[in-house]
Amino acid sequence: MAADEYRVTAVEETAIGTTPCWMVTLVRPDGGRSGHVFPKSTLEWRAAEYGIDPDDIEALLDIVLHEPYLPDPGPTPEGARGAGAAPAAVPNVQAAAGDLAAVRRARAVHLERIAGLKRTGVRVVQDEDADPLKAIRDHHGVDPERVAEKRRLLEGPQARG
């Protein structure tokens, strides 16, 4: 079964209360429209949570645009993983934050879930005649210093000294 393509057709800046957000409009295969609104800081949070280079806006956008369509992994009973089974559990990013190997595992699991979604569930693509994500690429506001601060917050009090 091939993935359904959800085509990005527009991006606007908006706010929810005082939180600056991006609003992405998508067209589903049935022609209906849907939207995805996320705080602008989401890109920084994903960079901090998964140890992704803050300058890799394409990777961060790919993650954020597909996350709403990921199925809930739910709890996995002990020993229930067989060949071809889903990952045992989605790692707790906050618990992994102080352990580089655990962050790498969490990133690998999350990226594999997104890759699986793109193969058989939903694949977010751009409108072929335009570059609606250019607004985010040009004005993403991802700051490596804020990413580092978010990383310290995730690592907990021991990382803050």
Residue 86 clears pLDDT 50, i.e. is over it = no
161 versus 123: the higher-pLDDT residue is: 123
pLDDT tens profile 117-128: 999 999 999 877
Q: CA 87 → CA 47, 74, 79, 116, distances in Å?
A: 22, 11, 12, 11
Compute the average pLDDT of residues 14-20: 97
From 5, 1, 2, select the one nearest 123 (Cα to Cα).
5
Residue 95 clears pLDDT 70, i.e. is over it = no
Q: Which residues contact 45 (CB under 8 A, 6 or more apart)?
A: 150
From 107, 101, 95, 104, select the one nearest 156 (Cα to Cα).
95
User: What radius of gyration do the chain's Cα atoms show?
Assistant: 17
pLDDT of residue 94: 54
Secondary structure of 52-78 as H, E, C letters? CCCCCHHHHHHHHHHHHHCCCCCCCCC
Residue 161 clears pLDDT 60, i.e. is over it = no
pTM for this structure? 0.82
Residue 82 clears pLDDT 60, i.e. is over it = no
What pairs with residue 33 in β-bridges? 27
Residue 113 · residue 87 · CB < 8 Å: yes
Mean pLDDT of the chain: 85
Sorted by where each begins, the domain ranges of the chain are 40-73+86-160
Residue 23 clears pLDDT 90, i.e. is over it = yes
Compute the average pLDDT of residues 109-116: 95
Tokens 């996320």, located at residue: 38
Rounded Cα–Cα distance for residues 23 and 39 (Å): 9
pLDDT tens profile 127-157: 778 899 999 999 999 999 999 999 999 887 6
